[in-house]
């Protein structure tokens, strides 16, 4: 079953990895915060973030670039670089090769404004 999931994920993201994630959304549920990445076009992304325990929500814009292995995010206000591994959809934060795993993301079909509003 894991192999089938990996193949489907790989084929889906392989088709968009060379160009962009334009039109795709990823939801990343971490231990303390939940992030939603809305890929607007070939370079622009909006990050929705909420800490439901603290009833906190904010939205920032930025840019992204894609390599063979990662989606590199450059979001306004971030102190450290963030990236998402294309093969596993793991969200990583850090500046070195030992980046910190924040959480695993999933594809999101809904509207982030509604999603975050309902949970707060």
101-116 pLDDT, tens digit per residue, is: 989 999 999 999 999 8
pLDDT, one tens digit per residue, over 45-89 is: 999 999 877 788 899 999 999 999 999 999 998 888 899 999 999
SS3 for the chain is: CHHHHHHHHHHHHHHHHCCCCCCCEEEEECCCCEEEEEECCCCEEEEEEEECCCCEEEEEEEEEEECCCEEEEEECCCCCCEEEECCCCEEEECCCCCCEEEEEEEECCCCHHHHHHHHC
- pTM: predicted TM-score of the whole model, two decimal places: 0.79
Query: Tens digit of pLDDT for each residue in 26-38?
Result: 999 998 889 999 9
């Amino acid at each position: 079953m894991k192999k089938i999931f990996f193949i489907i994920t790989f084929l889906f993201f392989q088709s968009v990895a060379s160009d962009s994630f334009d039109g795709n959304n990823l939801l990343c549920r971490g231990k303390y915060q939940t992030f939603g990445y809305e890929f607007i076009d070939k370079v622009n992304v909006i990050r929705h973030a909420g800490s439901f325990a603290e009833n906190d929500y904010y939205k920032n814009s930025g840019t992204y670039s894609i390599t063979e292995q990662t989606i590199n995010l450059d979001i306004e206000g971030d102190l450290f670089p963030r990236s998402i591994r294309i093969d596993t959809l793991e969200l990583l934060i850090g500046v070195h090769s030992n980046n910190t795993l924040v959480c695993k993301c999933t594809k999101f079909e809904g509207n982030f404004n509604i999603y975050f509003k309902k949970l707060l």
